[in-house]
Structure 1
Amino acid sequence: MTGSDDPRQPLRRNFDWNLLYTFLVIVQEGSITRAAERLLFRQPTVSNALRRLEEQLGKRLVDRGPGRFELTEHGSVLYRECQEICGSIGRLRQLLDDDGAELTGHLTIHMASHVAFPPLDDTLAAFHAHFPRVTLDIEIGTSSNVTQAVLAKEATLGICLVHEKHPRLDYELLYREHFGFFCGPRHRLFQRRGLHLEDLGGETFVSFRTDQLTDALRPVAMLRAQLPVQGPTVGTSSNLEEVRRMIVAGLGIGPLPIHVVDREVRDGVLWQLPPYDEPPAVDIYVVTNPRSRLGRAERLFLESLIARAGVHEQGALELPGNRRLPPRTG
């Protein structure tokens, strides 16, 4: 078959590639209205773009109706491809800036809010000292959002908790952190010694949105399930700072990474609660997309981070103070 006989040629010549990005945003927002707000378009413009895309492809992509917005089978296939296509287009500038002269480029890192890892800080400092013209963007989100950003090639790499590994992504174990339960100065258990896990039964909780048996903080959720009576959850957030704020304010007790809040415990802002022995452990990974073609700056940063973390030689790193805590007794 010659090129002129290829039935795909008219689509290639006449296709409006901007429609793919509009479709990507529509699916991400789950709404024509919200997509229009994000794109700064009028709602009829976005609705018309979806209609034109369906006409050009000859497939229905979205089933819409009152209170209903669902991708068709064809829509799901196209959405996966749009993530790849739009992610690759967004990275073209970074790849073209890598001209072999003084290192330039841009790193986009998505990470969970509670990542506190000295080798990461050391990598950032050393990398900037060697390559000051490379710019950096760090986005904070849930571990699920971090994974999706890497999958869609919106991020150079992700650093997050991992419940289930995606088959299309690569994972390197950075370190293991341990979570403890804490309360603030306004709580009745503050500065109480000799407590046991059962003493937490019935207390109100604040926590991360991923504190679920089917999500990234499964070990914490499993520990909560051991309480004789599970009190109500009165506050949640995806951000560590906000979870900590609610705990300090006395809304309830909640989980925090032990090494992250060590100074606040010493300063009397937070009080650690049981269990003191073998607190829940969660592994933190650096996540990359093998389909992403990394620029030189991105590749060097990733290699430096993995080398400093000692992943290949040491496995998961146990941070100071995370291993085993002595019980606090009166």
Structure 2
Amino acid sequence: MDIRHLQYFIEVSRFHSFTRAAEHLYISQPTISKMIKNLEADLGVELFERSRKQITLTDAGRVILAQAQVIDKAFNNLQTQLDDLLGLQKGHIRIGLPPIMDADQFFQILGGFHDQYPNITFQLIENGAKKIEENIIEDELDVGITVLPTKQEEFDYFFLLREEMKVVLPPSHALYEREEIHLHELKEESFIMFNKDFVLNDRITHACK
């Protein structure tokens, strides 16, 4: 799944029609139908109720549409921010990227940006969010992806995406059957943790106390 799947899904939802959405996007109807089927397969749910007259969103489709619109807006914001960073046609941008992020989606944005500004070069530096914030303050990075909330008075920032935190447990664990676990319930547990360069290390440690 990539950003195009979500964008095509948004357009089909808007037009209530694969054909009209395909015409608006200047692609073939079979192409957009295949993209939606791939998205449904990736998510494991049906997004549309299909009939001869029209298509309508399922309950799952409505939930996913709301999130897809948030993600699409975030990607558009990122493109705008990169444009604003650039009052020039040539230059070099140093970007901090946490290793836990889905880099494929970010690279799609950079690819589109490079198409518009082919003379701009990038340097991607992989590190934990805490270290990325320090590098920006020390002028060793120009842009970074971090975990919110951050030091708001020191940074200009915008929301990019939201991810849920998951706990992986063996079937024998006392909390295995629970659908939701509060972090403080894990305070006596031993578990694999991010190193101290990651903001999540501090957040999780504090929440477990």
Whether these two folds match at TM > 0.5 is no
More helix by share: 2
Larger RCO (alpha carbons 8 Å, 6+ apart): 1
TM-score, L = length of structure 1: 0.30
Larger Rg belongs to: 1
**The structure with more strand, counted as a fraction of residues:** 1
